[in-house]
Amino acid sequence: MKKLSEQSTQFGFDFVALKSTFEAKYGQSDEQLICSLAPARVNLIGDHIDYNGGFVLPCAINRYLCILVRKNSSRTLSYFAADLNASFSFSIDAPAKYDEAFGFANYLNGCFAYLKESGFHADSGFDVLVSSAIPIGSGLSSSAALEIAFILAVAELFHLSITRTEAALLGKRVENKFMGLKSGIMDQFVVANAVSHTAMLLDTSSLRCEYIPLDLQHSDFQNGKDYSLVVMNSNKPRALVGSKYNERKRECEKAFAILKQVFIVPDLCSLMPQNLSRAEYVLQSACADKDEAAVLFKRVRHCVVENDLVKQAVAALREKDLKSFAEFFTKSHASLKNDYEVSGAELDSLVSNAIKTEGCAGARMTGAGFSGCAIALVETPKVPAFKKAVGDAYKKECNLEAEFYVCDTVNAAAVFGL
Ligand code: GLA
């Protein structure tokens, strides 16, 4: 395990201060202190298709969540969220259960419970401190970062061998079974496997991935311009558990159950665009409720169109043609808004103002939607004017202050000695 310099600045944390907060909370000890750092992610294109067998194109960005862990001499597992000043303690021998009152600790308990289920045995209790610069509930995968950072930290602490894919699948299981959100694999997979200066083209039906070079600020692209990846935070947080997310998943399952009787495909995203009108006919014939059939068809069309847009966008990215690449963002946003109905007034305002601002090549919501964050590719010299124009228009339309982060793509989560 590499040692992290306390002076290291690249992750945005003051490690001297974090270490002393940890020691003020849990005391001094000779046990090894481990630091696990996990990045946020944005999805560049391909939303709501990772649970329908589609291709997605996420990357990790330079905002991090940090977990410090150290063994203690008891059978107690203690968590402290330094930014929220919230503490929880559990026995490592008690079965873990979800409890709303435990807040963020549920994610950690879920990971710990499933690690135990897979044969892991903790020989002692341990103390945990969490600090995060990833805004919670904003569509940047703060929960996947929490899960992956914790799983990797526990694996290092107890010398457990676990692959990155296993860690991602375990995190997904926590979301699906422990937290009740029927999400796909994209977030955990990219947080665990991202490579800097690339976007990850992930085939969610096989978990095969390819890293597509994405050099933002520093390259000479086809049209001779440098672009910046700008994340636009609507500052309207949402909770996904209990949102329409699971409803969308159910709608897709229902549509697929009908369509697979006619089309020989393994998932919705494997339908060809030219089969869409037949799919519409099949849904209309199978459903007694014609309005429901129309809704199901819109969900199916989104899956097929979005999957196709990912492929076209990747072809442009391979050519280093960022301008065309970003044009697919805007098309994707329209599909998420109109057919999948997972955008919202705030995200629509950010995106529509972004695309009419000079220097913006394209914009779209990112992640689950329903508020949260949107992204834009903007010519680098025009970023300050872009932020001002979009921020002002958004304030006028939605009466909220947007935040803007100009991001770099970074490597996956990593564990260090501190
Ligand atoms: C959330 C889920 C992901 C994915 C996105 C939408 O982030 O965790 O699995 O479905 O929404 O693309």
- Ligand 1 atom with least separation from CA of 240: 1
Confidence of residue 211 (pLDDT cuts 50, 70, 90): very high
- Ligand 1 atom with least separation from CA of 185: 9
Whether the pLDDT of residue 217 is over 70: the answer is no
Reading phi first (left if > 0) and then psi (alpha if -120 to 50, else beta), residue 102 is in alpha
CA–CA separation, 303 and 307 (whole Å): 6
Confidence of residue 281 (pLDDT cuts 50, 70, 90): very high
Whether the pLDDT of residue 78 is over 60: the answer is yes
Indicate the residue type of 117. Answer: E
3-state secondary structure of 148: helix
Q: Specify the residue with its C-alpha closest to ligand 1, atom 9.
A: 184
For ligand 1, the distance from its centroid to the CA atom of residue 6, given in whole angstroms, is 34
Q: Specify the residue with its C-alpha closest to ligand 1, atom 2.
A: 183
For ligand 1, the distance from its centroid to the CA atom of residue 187, given in whole angstroms, is 7
47, 50, 127, 187: the catalytic one is 187
Q: Specify the residue with its C-alpha closest to ligand 1, atom 8.
A: 183
For ligand 1, the distance from its centroid to the CA atom of residue 261, given in whole angstroms, is 27
Contact between residue 42 and residue 373 where contact means Cβ atoms under 8 Å apart: yes
CA–CA separation, 207 and 367 (whole Å): 18
**What does the pLDDT average to over 48-76?**
98
For ligand 1, the distance from its centroid to the CA atom of residue 265, given in whole angstroms, is 22
Q: What is the mean pLDDT of the chain?
A: 95
Confidence of residue 220 (pLDDT cuts 50, 70, 90): very low
Query: What single string gives the DSSP state of each residue in 295-325?
Result: HHHHHHHHHHHHHHHHHHHHHHHHTT-HHHH
Annotation marks residue 187 as catalytic = yes
- Ligand 1 atom with least separation from CA of 368: 11
CA–CA separation, 96 and 112 (whole Å): 8
Contact between residue 86 and residue 50 where contact means Cβ atoms under 8 Å apart: no
Tens digit of pLDDT for each residue in 364-390?
999 999 999 999 999 999 999 999 999
Of 44, 55, 183, the one to substitute when testing ligand 1's pocket (max ligand atoms within 8 A of C-beta) is 183
For ligand 1, the distance from its centroid to the CA atom of residue 313, given in whole angstroms, is 19
Contact between residue 339 and residue 305 where contact means Cβ atoms under 8 Å apart: yes
Confidence of residue 134 (pLDDT cuts 50, 70, 90): very high
| The model's pTM | 0.96
Predicted local distance difference test score (pLDDT) of residue 1: 82
